[in-house]
Amino acid sequence: MSSNSFGKLFTVTTFGESHGPAIGCVIDGCPPGLAISEEEFRQDLDRRATGKSRHTSQRREADDVEILSGMYEGKTTGTPIALLIRNTDQRSKDYGDIASTFRPGHADYTYWQKYGIRDPRGGGRSSARETTMRVAAAVVAKKWLAERHGVRVRGYLAQLGSLAPSDFDWNAVEQNPFFWPCAEQVPELEKAMDALRKSGDSVGARVSVVAEGVPPGWGEPIYGKLDGDLASALMSINAVKGVEIGDGFAAVSQHGSEHRDEMRLDGFTSNHAGGILGGISTGQAVVASIALKPTSSILIPGRSVNLAGEPVDVVTKGRHDPCVGIRATPIAEAMMALVLMDHALRHRAQCGDVGIVAPRIP
Amino acid sequence: MSSNSFGKLFTVTTFGESHGPAIGCVIDGCPPGLAISEEEFRQDLDRRATGKSRHTSQRREADDVEILSGMYEGKTTGTPIALLIRNTDQRSKDYGDIASTFRPGHADYTYWQKYGIRDPRGGGRSSARETTMRVAAAVVAKKWLAERHGVRVRGYLAQLGSLAPSDFDWNAVEQNPFFWPCAEQVPELEKAMDALRKSGDSVGARVSVVAEGVPPGWGEPIYGKLDGDLASALMSINAVKGVEIGDGFAAVSQHGSEHRDEMRLDGFTSNHAGGILGGISTGQAVVASIALKPTSSILIPGRSVNLAGEPVDVVTKGRHDPCVGIRATPIAEAMMALVLMDHALRHRAQCGDVGIVAPRIP
Amino acid sequence: MSSNSFGKLFTVTTFGESHGPAIGCVIDGCPPGLAISEEEFRQDLDRRATGKSRHTSQRREADDVEILSGMYEGKTTGTPIALLIRNTDQRSKDYGDIASTFRPGHADYTYWQKYGIRDPRGGGRSSARETTMRVAAAVVAKKWLAERHGVRVRGYLAQLGSLAPSDFDWNAVEQNPFFWPCAEQVPELEKAMDALRKSGDSVGARVSVVAEGVPPGWGEPIYGKLDGDLASALMSINAVKGVEIGDGFAAVSQHGSEHRDEMRLDGFTSNHAGGILGGISTGQAVVASIALKPTSSILIPGRSVNLAGEPVDVVTKGRHDPCVGIRATPIAEAMMALVLMDHALRHRAQCGDVGIVAPRIP
Amino acid sequence: MSSNSFGKLFTVTTFGESHGPAIGCVIDGCPPGLAISEEEFRQDLDRRATGKSRHTSQRREADDVEILSGMYEGKTTGTPIALLIRNTDQRSKDYGDIASTFRPGHADYTYWQKYGIRDPRGGGRSSARETTMRVAAAVVAKKWLAERHGVRVRGYLAQLGSLAPSDFDWNAVEQNPFFWPCAEQVPELEKAMDALRKSGDSVGARVSVVAEGVPPGWGEPIYGKLDGDLASALMSINAVKGVEIGDGFAAVSQHGSEHRDEMRLDGFTSNHAGGILGGISTGQAVVASIALKPTSSILIPGRSVNLAGEPVDVVTKGRHDPCVGIRATPIAEAMMALVLMDHALRHRAQCGDVGIVAPRIP
């Protein structure tokens, strides 16, 4: 499979650069007959939109999705669905002065080493702009998963720098610009963000995603495990440096008698495994978390080199986004949804539509 | 691609159950002309072998690899290399009494829910026995990477339960059965393991892998990123619940001014990124870590249910391995090597054998 | 790989319906640094264009390609190249009256059986309109193959109904609207076409494609053979019912002493094999031919059924194209080029950029 | 996907050389719960066996299949099924004297140009011996297709050199060593074969395969068409130079009014299309034919060159098989079955187990 395509049976191919004419995607393998409107795309894209609050990057994009193919009279036809978003806010001059330098912590140097060509326009293909199309494609996946299996995928910001939620409420998550699960702490977060903005620095973040309603049996041994596919899907999000399933790294210091999730007739007694055993879903909530590094696009000068091989100091001008992790919540949800969708189809390919009728723990 | 195959251009397909007649693999896409002997497989398999010390599972297998195809006069021919290992120590009776129960924390329940069939022989396909073939296949990858690019892949145990290395020395790693980088602590580890064995419980572990000599430019945006592929490769190892690249989850509480690796004419000043930016190698060491959960195969009874839908208590008899993470070091190295090999070939497909001749930071 | 994607390393994904808003493609895996202009696309698309002469369908399309991504300052960057063509001549009313019937010999019935949804707009995804994007994508492949390896791909109409060329001249091919290799026969062809148009009927055609300059060694055993991949590529063209490599079906009645191509120090003495042995190129010209069925879109009424399950008579109104095979020549060239491009990259992945330095027959 | 693997969801990976220690395959993606015995493999392998009659190559192999994995208590478990056959009749000395020459019409020269390595043992990987594993893998596919969908795949020899069947009877096919559909002509065929053997020459053949019971809707547009996949599957068989679906090349000189298969309420009135329209099955019998070249392994000397770059005359000693096409019948059936199996699973992945409930023409 090509490296700009994601998924085996529900395949999403994305294209486009941050400051080129457009970004887009082609969704291949969607079952026919799914009703979906352009309005549904708009809602999720707005949620991801960078201009949502003063705490995220100031780029303001219309992000109007045009459906180019694969639908007829409001329903999917089974043929590829192409989505297109024109880049209206290109402002490539913002980036012009760094065309000849390599920004520390960015993909400038590695793309140049790989391809021998430097597309300085806003990070080109390595920009988080590309993730817009993942969110768009996931609208289709989420709708099918909800209608067909009652699956619901939700995420939240689980840490901002060293701040952790002091309480947890799903209802709070959608009511603040941080996707933070504790309403009381929001003023504290705003203060922390303002301080960062003032200092010109940035912090990392932790985002968690939870999928409820996933039936047991999704996931394929050995190299198509549900957790393996989640790991690559989530690691492919910009700035992600770590992925956990269930308890993740906390499991290192746990004991077996503590970690194993016991089973009773009325269900599992805990979910340390994050809903996956042996790469296959257990029927519990599928839980994953990611670590996002602090962005390197900061106002504090950093030492680097330029194309001429000279030492330089680099300062990122233009937009400054002290915590890119905030924006990652809808993207992480999208990747979880795309992985689940793909495995739903893979499962029914091998095991049939109704699946195996085995007694289940509720 | 099928779910029991790994890699796009250097493709490894494994087969076999823990207590079936044999396990094996087919390696497809190996360049022709690489000299390799059965002895080289034996060395790496011995290193992984479960009977290596009293601290790992007591299963003792010869693990003699038979090369079935793909070689002529000691060299690879370019056609698929099939490797076969007969299972000599089958002892399936050990597992017989748990054929009708689901062991908590194991893949019993999920395999049964997926396939409707229970193969109780030693965990069947979900057993860590399968990883033997990954280590075997990686022998080929490691040799080619070393000869062609001078790449060296090494791993070590970075945490055992709550014990962390107090010092670091690569030379120590191969001289103790724990792959532990600090010789002085080895007695302490042995004591901890003995205590665990006595209590019938288990602990988790953390393993780190480092690849030196990887040139800049390996890895493909967007869904074939080097870190994305490492994440799924490492997450596919039995018992792994988390993957980190470079600083991993520590990046959550770091500042951008601290995390970004500055560049000087004589090289990068740090390696928080773990040798990967934008999914492409920087030329620094590629560094990854994994979290392994404590095994659920313990002597302390756990509550579960059986096939008849009745509540039962489960105790894992037979072999008891208080920390499966110890065995994971050679397997993690193997997966890193397989990913790098695949990307080496993918890189030269798109960018040519010599690659791009761009000035590099040393 | 998704079913709307073609190629393993040089991957082309197409989307779009005949009478939807647009058609397009995403080319993934193109080496960086290849110079290419929108004008180069236009030339090849004009050559394919349906409105080229009165002997092909009267649809007149602008077919202006917009390059949406993957290029910077006129050169490929190594990231996905997206191409878009708006459908300007939609005239879907032409097809409106057949929305509820199944045209004999068309994909109406099979798409409906597969997807349960009928997109009556001009054949939807099954229209030959989709092949426009194959020709566009092949512009990139042909340029790289020519620059890098001196490969040249050319095709011609080798039979029109029962008419066969009486002489062969490559120069004639581009100078008549039939891609016919014998200039003298062109008036005869025009007469045959006029007669067909008058009768409201259609005929089949045979198209041959030749690639010169392909080095020995391209193609992969066993299921990635060069001829195997050519076969599926060519069979995927609308209306194709047969594929031959070299002598093809003529080989059935040949003797081994006649068919085998002997080798002399100054080269092969013949090319019955069509430049491929064991699935790998020999260094001779790669030769393939295809059979195209007579289109079912004719003015003579045909018996069919409708969505209501009633017997009906169907007449295709609107455009009438008595021999769709004529248009297939540039498309067959395109598919040959795409297959060769993919195998060029696959070959250098496994065997390196310079390949094996073995003495060659000239 | 690797080039020694076939199929997207029902994936068969083969390995092994003609005169190496063994040949084998790994079948990945088989649905669980299918009962199958080693005896069932033996039947089909005997049918293919080269020693079946004096009219095919004299190699006599036991071809006992060992099932290494993927089954438990006689049923498939859903995990990969590995099959192994030891090469007992290696006689590599037969081929020893041609180790340094290139046989005209063989893959010797192309493998050497590709890999720079010459494995002279009986053609190595390019030997038809590899097809044994296709027949073995197809046993699984055929059984599932029959049980689940009532699909039956049968083939016959449709031409031997210039001899064509004068009558057609499926019952005759299995009762003569040629798979010939007309019992009366068998003595004539034997005479023709004896004459060929005496002359030391060979002829080509034509084989046809028919699948009955395929439901409408299998096959995926655009690059995963059922006919496209059949074309590459059949072209990948040794010595095949052409593939036809339905009327194939005969369609070139047909008229549209003759070729299109009209539909009536009681069914199609003809099957020129060979059961496929727009790449998707119509519900009629799927019909394909292949052209097999006359083998180049003949007793008549042919001019060639050797590794030293000198002109030589080559005679193939050892076994002489005047028409390799005869053996191709079971192999062509196997490839048809593998393609159908893969598409059955692909179809239910996208469109569900029950598929679309649309009124069908019987």
Residue range A343-352, pLDDT digits in tens:
999 999 999 8
| C-alpha span between D26 and D68 (Å, rounded) | 9
* Cα separations in angstroms, D73 against B4, B119, D33, D36, D80: 22, 9, 10, 10, 15
Q: Inter-axis angle of helices D328-351 and C108-115, to 10 degrees? A: 60
Residues from chain C contacting residue A80 (CB–CB below 8 Å): 2, 4, 13-16, 125
| C-alpha span between A323 and A316 (Å, rounded) | 15
- According to the model, what pLDDT value does residue D76 have? 96
Q: With an 8 Å Cβ cutoff, are B242 and A245 in contact?
A: yes
| C-alpha span between D336 and D151 (Å, rounded) | 11
| C-alpha span between D350 and C130 (Å, rounded) | 21
- According to the model, what pLDDT value does residue B123 have? 77
Measure C124 CA to nearest chain A CA, in Å: 9
Measure D4 CA to nearest chain B CA, in Å: 7
Structure tokens at A336: 């979880």
Which residue numbers of B have CB closer than 8 Å to C's CBs? 9, 29-32, 78-79, 221, 345-346, 348-354, 356
C211-260: pLDDT as tens digits: 999 999 999 999 999 999 999 999 999 999 999 999 999 999 999 999 99
DSSP D225-237: -HHHHHHHHHHTS
Residues from chain B contacting residue D4 (CB–CB below 8 Å): 26, 28, 79-80
Tell me which residue of A226, D12, D8 sits closest to C1, measured CA to CA. Answer: D8
pLDDT interval class at B61 (50, 70, 90): low
Q: Which domain holds residue B9?
A: 5-351
Q: With an 8 Å Cβ cutoff, are D115 and B17 in contact?
A: no
Answer whether C31's CB lies under 8 Å from C51's CB: no
Bridge pairing between strands C267-268 and C263-264: antiparallel
Q: With an 8 Å Cβ cutoff, are B352 and C79 in contact?
A: no
Answer whether D105's CB lies under 8 Å from C273's CB: yes
DSSP C121-166: STTGGGSGGGHHHHHHHHHHHHHHHHHHH--EEEEEEEEETTB--S
- According to the model, what pLDDT value does residue B90 have? 58
Lowest mean pLDDT among A48-52, C140-144, C204-208, D202-206: A48-52
Mutate to test the interface with D, among C162, C201, C241, C266 (most CBs of D within 10 A): C241
Q: With an 8 Å Cβ cutoff, are C294 and D245 in contact?
A: no
Residue numbers in the known binding site of D for NADP(+) are 48, 54
Q: With an 8 Å Cβ cutoff, are C348 and B346 in contact?
A: no
Residues from chain B contacting residue D75 (CB–CB below 8 Å): 117
Average pLDDT over residues A210-222: 96
Mutate to test the interface with B, among C342, C348, C354 (most CBs of B within 10 A): C348
* Cα separations in angstroms, B123 against B85, B240, D82, D118, D281: 18, 17, 18, 42, 41
**Nearest-by-Cβ selection for A217 from B8, B110, B278:** B110
Measure B192 CA to nearest chain A CA, in Å: 13
Q: Could you give phi then psi for residue C219, rounded to 5 degrees? A: 115, 145
Q: With respect to residue C361, please indicate whether it lies within any of the assigned structural domains.
A: no
CA angle A321, A322, A327 (to 5 degrees): 65
Query: Is pLDDT above 50 for A231?
Result: yes
Question: How many alpha carbons fall within 13 Å on the CB side of residue D116?
Answer: 15
Q: With an 8 Å Cβ cutoff, are D11 and B5 in contact?
A: yes
- According to the model, what pLDDT value does residue D306 have? 87
| C61 vs B7: which has the higher pLDDT | B7
Query: Is pLDDT above 80 for C338?
Result: yes
pLDDT interval class at C51 (50, 70, 90): very low
Searching chain A, which residue's CA lies closest to the CA of residue C75? Answer: A117
Mean of per-residue pLDDT scores for chain D: 91
Q: With respect to residue D361, please indicate whether it lies within any of the assigned structural domains.
A: no
Which residue numbers of B have CB closer than 8 Å to D's CBs? 1-5, 9, 11, 13-17, 20-24, 26, 28-29, 32-33, 66-70, 72, 75, 77-82, 84, 114-117, 119, 121, 124-125
Structure tokens at C32: 């960086």
| C-alpha span between C229 and C227 (Å, rounded) | 5
Answer whether D238's CB lies under 8 Å from D14's CB: no
| C-alpha span between A152 and A145 (Å, rounded) | 8
Searching chain B, which residue's CA lies closest to the CA of residue D67? Answer: B21
Searching chain B, which residue's CA lies closest to the CA of residue C350? Answer: B31
- According to the model, what pLDDT value does residue A110 have? 94
Mean of per-residue pLDDT scores for chain A: 91
Burial class (CB in 10 A: 0-12, 13-18, 19+), A74: exposed
Query: Is pLDDT above 70 for D53?
Result: no
Other beta carbons within 10 angstroms of residue A348's beta carbon come to 23
**Helix boundaries (H) for chain C:** 38-48, 93-96, 108-115, 131-149, 170-173, 186-199, 226-235, 256-259, 328-351
Residues from chain A contacting residue D29 (CB–CB below 8 Å): 349-350
Average pLDDT over residues C48-53: 63
Residues from chain C contacting residue A127 (CB–CB below 8 Å): none
Q: With an 8 Å Cβ cutoff, are D345 and A350 in contact?
A: yes
Q: With respect to residue A361, please indicate whether it lies within any of the assigned structural domains.
A: no
The DSSP output letter for C183 is G
Answer whether D154's CB lies under 8 Å from D170's CB: yes
DSSP B267-285: EES--TTTTEETTEE-SS-
Average pLDDT over residues C77-85: 96
Query: Is pLDDT above 60 for C345?
Result: yes
- According to the model, what pLDDT value does residue B359 have? 65
Task: Please give the torsion angle defined by the CA atoms of residues D239, D245, D250 and D251, in that order, rounded to the nearest 10 degrees.
Answer: -140
Residue numbers in the known binding site of A for FMN are 125-127, 238-239, 278, 293-297, 319
User: How far apart, in Å, do the first and last CA atoms of chain A sit?
Assistant: 37
Query: Is pLDDT above 70 for D62?
Result: no
Lowest mean pLDDT among D57-66, D88-97, D335-344: D88-97
Answer whether C290's CB lies under 8 Å from D243's CB: no
B272-284: pLDDT as tens digits: 999 999 999 999 9
User: Coil, strand, or helix at residue A287?
Assistant: strand
- According to the model, what pLDDT value does residue B51 have? 45
Q: With an 8 Å Cβ cutoff, are D31 and A345 in contact?
A: no
Other beta carbons within 10 angstroms of residue C331's beta carbon come to 26
| C-alpha span between D295 and B293 (Å, rounded) | 59
**Nearest-by-Cβ selection for A346 from D31, D79, D349:** D349
Rounded to whole angstroms, the maximal C-alpha distance in chain B is 69
Searching chain D, which residue's CA lies closest to the CA of residue A348? Answer: D349
Q: With an 8 Å Cβ cutoff, are D217 and C113 in contact?
A: yes
Question: Is residue B127 part of an annotated ligand binding site?
Answer: yes
Query: Is pLDDT above 80 for D98?
Result: no
Q: With an 8 Å Cβ cutoff, are D14 and C222 in contact?
A: yes
Query: Is pLDDT above 80 for C263?
Result: yes
- According to the model, what pLDDT value does residue C91 have? 53
Q: With respect to residue D359, please indicate whether it lies within any of the assigned structural domains.
A: no
Measure C84 CA to nearest chain A CA, in Å: 10
Which residue numbers of D have CB closer than 8 Å to B's CBs? 1-5, 9, 11, 13-17, 20-24, 26, 28-29, 32-33, 66-70, 72, 75, 77-82, 84, 114-117, 119, 121, 124-125
Lowest mean pLDDT among A81-95, B95-109, D30-44, D75-89: A81-95
Query: Is pLDDT above 70 for B308?
Result: yes
A188-207: pLDDT as tens digits: 999 999 999 999 999 999 99
Mutate to test the interface with C, among A1, A66, A68 (most CBs of C within 10 A): A68
Subunits next to A (3 or more Cβ pairs <8 Å) are B, C, D
Q: With respect to residue A359, please indicate whether it lies within any of the assigned structural domains.
A: no
Bridge pairing between strands A267-268 and A263-264: antiparallel
| C-alpha span between D300 and B11 (Å, rounded) | 42
Searching chain D, which residue's CA lies closest to the CA of residue A350? Answer: D31
Answer whether A155's CB lies under 8 Å from A130's CB: no
Q: With an 8 Å Cβ cutoff, are A353 and D352 in contact?
A: yes
Considering chain A, what percentage of its residues have pLDDT values greater than 70? 91
Query: Is pLDDT above 80 for A324?
Result: yes
Please tell me whether the peptide bond between A222 and the residue prior to it is cis, using omega within 30 degrees of 0: yes
pLDDT interval class at C106 (50, 70, 90): very high
* Residue C281 host element (H or E): strand C280-281
* Cα separations in angstroms, C213 against A248, C210, C225, C276, D107: 55, 10, 18, 13, 19
| C-alpha span between D144 and C116 (Å, rounded) | 25
- According to the model, what pLDDT value does residue D51 have? 45
Q: pTM higher than 0.90, yes or no?
A: yes
Measure B84 CA to nearest chain D CA, in Å: 10
Buried/exposed code over D334-358 (b: 16+ C-beta within 10 A; e: otherwise): bbbbbbbbbbbbbbbbbbbeebbeb
Lowest mean pLDDT among A135-144, B203-212, B237-246, B303-312: B303-312
Answer whether A332's CB lies under 8 Å from A209's CB: yes
Answer whether A77's CB lies under 8 Å from A70's CB: yes
Mutate to test the interface with D, among B6, B8, B15 (most CBs of D within 10 A): B15
**Nearest-by-Cβ selection for B69 from D1, D17, D66:** D17
- According to the model, what pLDDT value does residue D194 have? 95
- Give the domain CATH number at C22: 3.60.150.10
Residues from chain B contacting residue A252 (CB–CB below 8 Å): 159, 161, 203-206, 291-292, 325
Q: With respect to residue A356, please indicate whether it lies within any of the assigned structural domains.
A: no
Residue numbers in the known binding site of D are 48, 54, 125-127, 238-239, 278, 293-297, 319
Mutate to test the interface with A, among B12, B260, B331, B338 (most CBs of A within 10 A): B260
Q: Is the dihedral of CA C109, C115, C120, C126 positive or negative?
A: negative
| C-alpha span between C276 and C245 (Å, rounded) | 8
* Residue A110 host element (H or E): helix A108-115
- According to the model, what pLDDT value does residue A51 have? 45
Query: Is pLDDT above 70 for A357?
Result: no
Q: With respect to residue C357, please indicate whether it lies within any of the assigned structural domains.
A: no
Q: With respect to residue A339, please indicate whether it lies within any of the assigned structural domains.
A: yes
Searching chain A, which residue's CA lies closest to the CA of residue B13? Answer: A223
pLDDT interval class at C355 (50, 70, 90): low
Those residues whose C-beta lies under 8 Å from the C-beta of residue B303, and which sit 6 or more positions away, are A262, A263, A264, A269, B104, B311, B312, B313, B314
Strands (E), C29-96: 66-67, 71-72, 75-76, 81-86
Q: With an 8 Å Cβ cutoff, are B254 and A304 in contact?
A: no
Mutate to test the interface with B, among A130, A263, A276, A297 (most CBs of B within 10 A): A263
Answer whether C313's CB lies under 8 Å from C303's CB: yes
Place of tokens 């003015």: C299
Q: Specify the number of domains making up chain A.
A: 1
| C-alpha span between D65 and D175 (Å, rounded) | 25
Task: Tell me which amino acid residue B155 is.
Answer: G
Average pLDDT over residues A110-124: 84
Structure tokens at D308: 């030293």
A242-268: pLDDT as tens digits: 999 999 999 999 999 999 999 998 899
Searching chain B, which residue's CA lies closest to the CA of residue C356? Answer: B32
Task: Please report the number of interchain residue pairs, chain A to chain D, with beta-carbon separation below 8 angstroms.
Answer: 49
A13-71: pLDDT as tens digits: 999 998 899 999 999 999 999 999 999 999 899 888 754 566 665 455 568 899 999 99
* Residue C24 host element (H or E): strand C22-28
